[in-house]
Chains A and B, each alone.
Chain A
């Protein structure tokens, strides 16, 4: 039975990132994700944990001659409608918040990209359970 379900989900990959927007690993993860999508694999989750929650912020402004990895990740997520989650505990600690959380905590900020959800580790566990393969990019 499990084999049957695995074959149904064999095309999907769950990706976790831990590095911040400047980390090599976040760029490498982006290239990996693009290659996976081009090969018609499904990415069933992009989970931003630890410092990688920075990639969910719309605030970073990069010089023109530098890659804005956060913006590129966000564009990929939007283009392919990837289920993308920033771990809520990690995000709040690092000042990545949506308007709901901002109101709740009396903060004047709303920098969470609209295509990325704030959620807990249960979401990652669910993605892990369903995917064929998972991969972690960290620094």
Chain B
């Protein structure tokens, strides 16, 4: 299981598109900082269709006033981020 960490808005940078191509079904994809903007618009649909496990840092969503639909991504805190990163084979940061 690889952990992909996306921290850029998909509207601004192409890393989201690149990361989701490289991420496999058994991988986890964590949205942090501006990466959480992917839980909106067309990108939300891409997320729903991608078989990987999607997660987002809850306080980064809250800061940006985002309330994504339940089930789109699992909302986690930094404790869970750490645990997830230690379970992954590799952490790949996409920025």
Q: Is the CB of A135 within 8 A of B33?
A: no
Contact size range, A: 20 to 34
Query: In whole angstroms, what is the CA distance A2 to B88 when docked?
Result: 18
Which of B34, B79, B83, B93 is in CB contact (< 8 Å) with A138?
A: B93
A66 to B: closest C-beta gap in Å: 15
Nearest neighbor of B63 in chain A, beta-carbon distance? A24
Q: Is the CB of B32 within 8 A of A139?
A: no
Interfacial residues of chain A within 17-69, with CB under 8 A of chain B in the complex: 24-25, 28, 31-32, 34-36, 38-39, 41
B43 adjacent to chain A (CB < 8 Å): no
Nearest neighbor of B86 in chain A, beta-carbon distance? A133
Q: A24-B7, A24-B34, A28-B33 are in contact. Are A135 and B91 (CB under 8 A)?
A: yes
Query: In whole angstroms, what is the CA distance A108 to B9 when docked?
Result: 41
Query: In whole angstroms, what is the CA distance A67 to B48 when docked?
Result: 36
B50 to A: closest C-beta gap in Å: 22
Q: Is the CB of A136 within 8 A of B93?
A: yes
Query: In whole angstroms, what is the CA distance A36 to B78 when docked?
Result: 8
Chain A residues in contact with chain B, CB under 8 A?
13, 24-25, 28, 31-32, 34-36, 38-39, 41, 132-139
Q: List 25 A-B contacts (CB under 8 A).
A: A13-B85, A24-B33, A25-B7, A25-B33, A25-B95, A28-B7, A32-B82, A32-B85, A35-B77, A35-B81, A35-B82, A36-B82, A39-B82, A41-B82, A41-B86, A133-B85, A133-B86, A133-B88, A133-B91, A135-B5, A135-B93, A137-B93, A138-B93, A138-B95, A139-B95
